[in-house]
Chain A
């Protein structure tokens, strides 16, 4: 069974991967955006976005989606970072998974943008990669893990 990092630990992946030949992905399976938009019964399915697919079409459905995967075919294409933030800003609370060829040195940034699951193309380094989730424990910017920018927290009276 494929493995991934979820909520800071390495676990088995219960989701069925994307199958582009399938007419109707079932519950528990990940669909491409096109497949997913065409599904009559979306219940229990996940959806995967590619770099050229903005998340905006999903905004009306966010409360009913259990998994959104944002695929990184190459780790240098950073569009997915903005997509993740937009999804969280629009209220998505389900699993937000980074998939594909990102690298462990991006994990802190990905987590800060709202990803909570990380499925790396090369699974061999998953355990070691956990360490990179906490490369930083202090940040300047507001993000999903820290809603207040440092300049607002500095202004708070210290207890």
Chain B
């Protein structure tokens, strides 16, 4: 993974010193609330319902075991002994004290971490495929590009006061696991006819109040032009994005208002002065970034033999076998598997992880996966490079710590924002809904029978829980001071991206497990052989679901 040199460290250290000074001046009354707001947000600090929330950046979801141990230590010293993995692969602390945040940032800087631009109207943490570098369907590793974008966007002087937040995602594989169609900018690495790697550029996707699927503004961009082209897009947005209404300030609204062709033309025009300038990437810069993501020192393993041994172990211990089937994936190297550590066990908030669990995962990463850990936007952790022969001891340790719930990609692997229990933006609680659904569907055989299913819950229309792109999405709404829940169906974050359609009038919290039950049994009745929920929905449309759900209500 990327390792700081003296330049990176100096920038991060100076940022800590700057925020320490800003915090001192704020606490002394020398900076107003209004002025402090963007300063603290751009250092990841929200003031929430019960306490501040600090969002720590995990650039493109990659951490090492040292960083995980430091996070565990920070949660103990400065927080309540647990952290939360966010839907943008970041780590959140729910209970830090404002005056201690500069100390937390200084602690993070000692392990090459920070909280820069994890909030505010600026370029946010770039996200990517959690299986980058190990997935079988990968054309090009997106992480070097993410790191180049991280450096370019970090403390960018021109784009720190944009009309609204700005999110970039990069994908380099056949299957899109980074939801690039739903970002302000989505970048897809792909080869042209000559086999050279370049980027397809999508603009104007997003969730929130006005969900939209990104439009292609460039079919293939030479990778050397990546940063100047991004700069041109950002500049058009900075100049022309709406600033009169925060709900219409995202780039998707601008792209829609201008029309994609006019927007592309404006970008091209802006680009003409930036193209081939000093920000054009050099071969050395690309090579340097790439060099940090070389394959680790894999052992040479006899793949078929290792697979046969693993199959035998799975047969001996069916519970282990089930976990291997549900929570591990094929790896590009013979004899290795990709392991997802489930943070979705019923009774615990999706994405929450205790200090002890963080330390355990760090230890297991050191033992079995080259000391690296990935966070996922589905709010789980991943050990990317586990030899098949080590899966059994790994599973035993995870199982004992409650980190082996065999539900990855299934109904109970719910994406869920912190909601009204923590977040001051929320209209409704989201965690109790997630828990009630997980509790209702505790029969794993039924859950597996339902097949791959993404259920996403947001406590407000800011959509941190990505409800629009869940196969089933749940949105908390406020109806005259009461918490209600709207359901949408048919969203998808894949390359065949779609935005969920609203089923109908919203429901009370206690009705939600029944509503989901009816939706699922409708699917079971209607599905054709082996047909997934999403495919069935796409075939039959929303009406049969609507009829069943609302018939029952009357």
Q: Which of B22, B31, B151, B161 lies at the interface centre, i.e. has the most chain A CB atoms within 10 A of its CB?
A: B161
Please tell me if A139 contacts chain B, counting CB pairs below 8 Å. Answer: yes
From known contacts A136-B18, A138-B14, A152-B285, infer whether A79 and B239 are also in contact, taking CB-CB under 8 Å: yes
Taken residue by residue from 330 to 344, chain B's Cβ proximity to chain A (1 for < 8 Å, 0 otherwise) reads as: 000000000000000
From known contacts A151-B285, A155-B282, A155-B285, infer whether A76 and B152 are also in contact, taking CB-CB under 8 Å: no
From known contacts A149-B278, A154-B288, infer whether A77 and B235 are also in contact, taking CB-CB under 8 Å: no
Taken residue by residue from 104 to 116, chain A's Cβ proximity to chain B (1 for < 8 Å, 0 otherwise) reads as: 0110111011000
Please tell me if B155 contacts chain A, counting CB pairs below 8 Å. Answer: yes
The 8 Å CB contact of A79, one of B152, B160, B238, is B238
Contact in complex: B157, A112 (CB < 8 Å):
yes
Distance, CA A152 to CA B284, complexed state (A)? 8
Interface residues of A in 67-116 (CB under 8 A from B): 75-79, 81-83, 85-86, 89-90, 103, 105-106, 108-110, 112-113
Please tell me if B7 contacts chain A, counting CB pairs below 8 Å. Answer: yes
The 8 Å CB contact of A136, one of B14, B158, B160, B227, is B14
Please tell me if B293 contacts chain A, counting CB pairs below 8 Å. Answer: no
From known contacts A108-B157, A140-B152, A149-B279, infer whether A103 and B35 are also in contact, taking CB-CB under 8 Å: yes
Interface residues of A in 137-159 (CB under 8 A from B): 137-143, 147-152, 154-155
Instruction: Report the minimal beta-carbon distance from A137 to chain B, rounded to whole angstroms.
Output: 7
Contact in complex: B11, A151 (CB < 8 Å):
no
Please tell me if B38 contacts chain A, counting CB pairs below 8 Å. Answer: yes
Please tell me if A34 contacts chain B, counting CB pairs below 8 Å. Answer: no
Please tell me if B357 contacts chain A, counting CB pairs below 8 Å. Answer: no
Please tell me if A19 contacts chain B, counting CB pairs below 8 Å. Answer: no
The 8 Å CB contact of B161, one of A81, A85, A138, A148, is A81
Distance, CA A139 to CA B151, complexed state (A)? 9
CB-CB under 8 A from B160, the residues of chain A are: 78, 81, 106, 109
Contact in complex: B18, A152 (CB < 8 Å):
no
Counting contact residues on chain B (CB < 8 A from A), the size range is 35 or more
Please tell me if A7 contacts chain B, counting CB pairs below 8 Å. Answer: no
Distance, CA A105 to CA B278, complexed state (A)? 27
Please tell me if B307 contacts chain A, counting CB pairs below 8 Å. Answer: no
Please tell me if A135 contacts chain B, counting CB pairs below 8 Å. Answer: yes
Closest to B281 in A: A151
Please tell me if B121 contacts chain A, counting CB pairs below 8 Å. Answer: yes
Interface residues of B in 29-48 (CB under 8 A from A): 31, 35, 38-39
Instruction: Report the minimal beta-carbon distance from B26 to chain A, rounded to whole angstroms.
Output: 10
CB-CB under 8 A from A50, the residues of chain B are: none
Please tell me if B494 contacts chain A, counting CB pairs below 8 Å. Answer: no
The 8 Å CB contact of B152, one of A137, A141, A152, A155, is A141
Contact in complex: B148, A78 (CB < 8 Å):
no
Distance, CA A83 to CA B22, complexed state (A)? 27
Contact in complex: B235, A109 (CB < 8 Å):
no
Contact in complex: A139, B11 (CB < 8 Å):
yes
Distance, CA A151 to CA B5, complexed state (A)? 12
CB-CB under 8 A from A105, the residues of chain B are: 18, 22, 31, 35, 39
Instruction: Report the minimal beta-carbon distance from B517 to chain A, rounded to whole angstroms.
Output: 46
Contact in complex: A77, B152 (CB < 8 Å):
no
CB-CB under 8 A from B31, the residues of chain A are: 103, 105
From known contacts A75-B35, A105-B22, A137-B10, infer whether A148 and B278 are also in contact, taking CB-CB under 8 Å: yes
From known contacts A141-B279, A151-B288, infer whether A81 and B152 are also in contact, taking CB-CB under 8 Å: no
Contact in complex: B239, A151 (CB < 8 Å):
no
Contact in complex: A77, B281 (CB < 8 Å):
no
Contact in complex: A139, B155 (CB < 8 Å):
yes
Distance, CA A51 to CA B161, complexed state (A)? 13
CB-CB under 8 A from A77, the residues of chain B are: 161, 243
Further 7 A-B residue pairs, CB within 8 A, beyond A86-B273, A154-B7 = A78-B238, A105-B18, A106-B160, A135-B17, A149-B279, A154-B288, A155-B288
Query: Can you offer 5 A-B residue contacts whose CB atoms are under 8 A?
Result: A77-B243, A86-B235, A113-B157, A151-B148, A151-B281
Chain B residues with CB under 8 Å of chain A are: 5, 7, 10-11, 14-15, 17-18, 22, 31, 35, 38-39, 121, 148, 151-152, 154-162, 227, 235, 238-239, 243, 273, 277-279, 281-282, 284-285, 288
